[in-house]
Amino acid sequence: MSSDSVPTRRTGGRSALVIAAVRDAVEDLIAESGADKVTVPAVAARAGVSPSSIYRRWGDVGSLVAEVATLRLDPDRPLPDTGNIGDDLRAWARELYGHLARPTKASLLRASAVLADDGETNCLASRRDEAERLVERAHAHGQFTPSVRQIMDHLVAPIIYRITFEPDTVDAGFPETLVAELDRITETG
């Protein structure tokens, strides 16, 4: 068999419809019942597909939820670029908090945390990559910045913690408070 005759995975047509239906079913089930109620049979029934289709493509419910969370939780937007790291962090934190605090996104964030293994979730890895880009850009402009670790520990982690474990305390001013605290930490540390 030549390499030209090897079948490729088709992601258009029926396959694309199945993938979209399964992703929507996961999101709906998490929003309605929480992560602990999401099972492959429940997702399959909601999406109108066979459980074997889900197992074949995703393997298990944890992998499926992780994929959906990554797609839905990673905002597709440019990072702020005001020319000042403090202003960039402030704008980034406000946008991130507002995005993740939406009820459906918050449910996905909680579900991905519950179903994550010992490794870093894709959502957290993406936030680390964004923090690295913000710091690198500020360094290129000769600015003093907090470290990526400080940004993760004092800005990103509290946002994710608050939304995941204390959703009733969601406060639009929280990102501003965190950036101000990060400013004080980096000034003294």
Out of 67-71, 102-106, 111-115, 143-147, pick the least confident.
111-115
Out of 7-21, 98-112, 126-140, pick the least confident.
7-21
The reply to whether 118 and 171 lie within a common domain is yes
The reply to whether 49 and 84 lie within a common domain is no
Residue 93 sits in a domain whose CATH number is 1.10.357.10
The total number of structural domains that make up the chain: 2
Task: For the full predicted model, state whether its pTM sits above 0.95.
Answer: no
Q: Has residue 2 been placed in a domain?
A: no
For residue 76, the tally of other CB atoms under 10 A from its CB is 5
Print the domain residue range for 41: 10-65
The reply to whether 77 and 26 lie within a common domain is no
For residue 112, the tally of other CB atoms under 10 A from its CB is 25
Q: Has residue 80 been placed in a domain?
A: yes
For residue 155, the 8-state DSSP code is I
- 3-class state of residue 80 by DSSP: coil
The reply to whether 40 and 90 lie within a common domain is no
Residue 27 sits in a domain whose CATH number is 1.10.10.60
CA atoms within 13 A on the CB side of 174: 23
The reply to whether 58 and 82 lie within a common domain is no
Query: Who wins on pLDDT, 91 or 38?
Result: 91
| Position 87 pLDDT exceeds 60 | yes
The reply to whether 29 and 115 lie within a common domain is no
Q: Has residue 146 been placed in a domain?
A: yes
Out of 52-61, 87-96, 116-125, pick the least confident.
116-125
pLDDT in tens, 130-151: 999 999 999 999 999 999 999 9
**What pLDDT shows up at residue 81?**
93
| Residue 80 near residue 91, CB atoms below 8 Å | yes
- Alpha-carbon distance of 150 to 37, in angstroms, equals 35
- Alpha-carbon distance of 156 to 154, in angstroms, equals 6
